[in-house]
Structure formats: C-alpha cells, structure tokens
C-alpha cells in the first residue's frame, strides 16, 4: 500500500478486462443510467440501496470509475461513454 496526501492509504487495485466489461454493462443499464442522471426517485433508491450491494456490474463500475453506480458521472466520462 502507498501513502497518499494527508496520510491517506491508497490500495493498488488491478482492473481486469472482465471488470471493464461489467462496468460497461452498468453504464448501459437503463436503471443505473437513470439513477446517475436524475439523482432521485425509485431508480436512484434501488441502485443506491439494493443493486449496489448485489450487482456485479455496479461493483465493477465502482472499481473502474472510482465512484458508486448511483453517483453522477463526471463530464469527461459522460462524453466518452455516451
């Protein structure tokens, strides 16, 4: 493990091609996409509460992009993906 700024501990995580493929499925998922865009409603609640802990695609999204599946995507990611 490496030590980052202000004493943060950063673990080096290896991202596999399977992780990237699963993350892409999460990006294309209509429920996750709606949760990221709208930030409210049933889809947001579902992804935040249930799917994030159970869905391998959402876990891969978090691993690849460094944010939860329900969190809004950065503009660079949106332009690259959509």
Tell whether the model's pLDDT for residue 18 goes beyond 90: yes
Confidence of residue 7 (pLDDT cuts 50, 70, 90): very low
Q: How many domains are there within the chain?
A: 1
Confidence of residue 1 (pLDDT cuts 50, 70, 90): very low
Q: Is 5 helix (H, G, I), strand (E, B) or coil?
A: helix
Q: Which domain holds residue 29?
A: 15-81
User: Is 64 a domain residue?
Assistant: yes
pLDDT reported for residue 79: 55
Q: What is the residue-wise DSSP string for 36-49?
A: HHH-SHHHHHHIII
User: Is 6 a domain residue?
Assistant: no
User: Is 65 a domain residue?
Assistant: yes
Q: Is 48 helix (H, G, I), strand (E, B) or coil?
A: helix
């Amino acid at each position: 493990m490496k030590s980052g700024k202000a004493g943060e501990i950063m673990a080096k995580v290896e991202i596999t091609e399977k992780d990237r493929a699963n993350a892409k499925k999460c990006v294309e998922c209509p429920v996750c996409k709606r949760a990221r865009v709208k930030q409210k409603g049933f889809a947001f609640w579902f992804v935040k509460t249930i799917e994030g802990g159970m869905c391998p695609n959402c876990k891969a999204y978090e691993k690849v992009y460094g944010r939860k599946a329900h969190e809004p995507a950065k503009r660079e990611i949106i332009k690259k993906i959509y």
